[in-house]
Amino acid sequence: MTVPSRLQALVRERENGRCAYCRSPEELTVTRFEIDHIVPVSAGGATEESNLCMACPSCNRYKGAHQTAIDPVSQQNVALFHPRRDVWEEHFAWDEQQIRIIGLTLTGRATIEKLRMNRQSLVRLRTLWRKLGVELEKA
């Protein structure tokens, strides 16, 4: 589904150039981030501001059309993080080095697993970004 350019611009501005899930800054990557339908169109999600977020291509691909995932601790199937309804800091925190995301809730842990938000390549990038003094802000 094509997202109108005015909505894309609004979402990009709102996200401050960062992936709504892993918080990676688009300007420090070699790719353009995508506009994600949080609730997929195939599941009845609308192409409206409240259902759109900016996502790095990796988070967007791993999320796909999924809306739930298994929490690796409780083994419960729970809702994935919803960037428009949920507060990032309630579900996630940074480790001391600010290179790994820690899940604080079932939703946080399940989202980290499903989207592979601590995949090795991204942890290496975050390590480099931190050495450069980049603050990996929250939502």
Predicted TM-score (pTM) above 0.85:
yes
Q: What pLDDT is attached to residue 139?
A: 45
User: What is the number of alpha carbons within 13 Å of residue 41 lying toward its C-beta?
Assistant: 7
Q: Has residue 136 got a pLDDT over 90?
A: no
- Residues 63-104 have pLDDT tens digits of 999 999 999 999 999 999 999 999 999 999 999 998 999 999
Instruction: Tell me the percentage of the chain whose pLDDT exceeds 70.
Output: 96
Which residue's structure tokens are 């009845």?
44
Domain boundaries, the chain: 5-131
Among 103, 102, 94, 89, smallest CA distance to 127 is for 94
Contact 101, 112 (CB under 8 A): yes
Looking at residue 134, what is its pLDDT?
A: 79
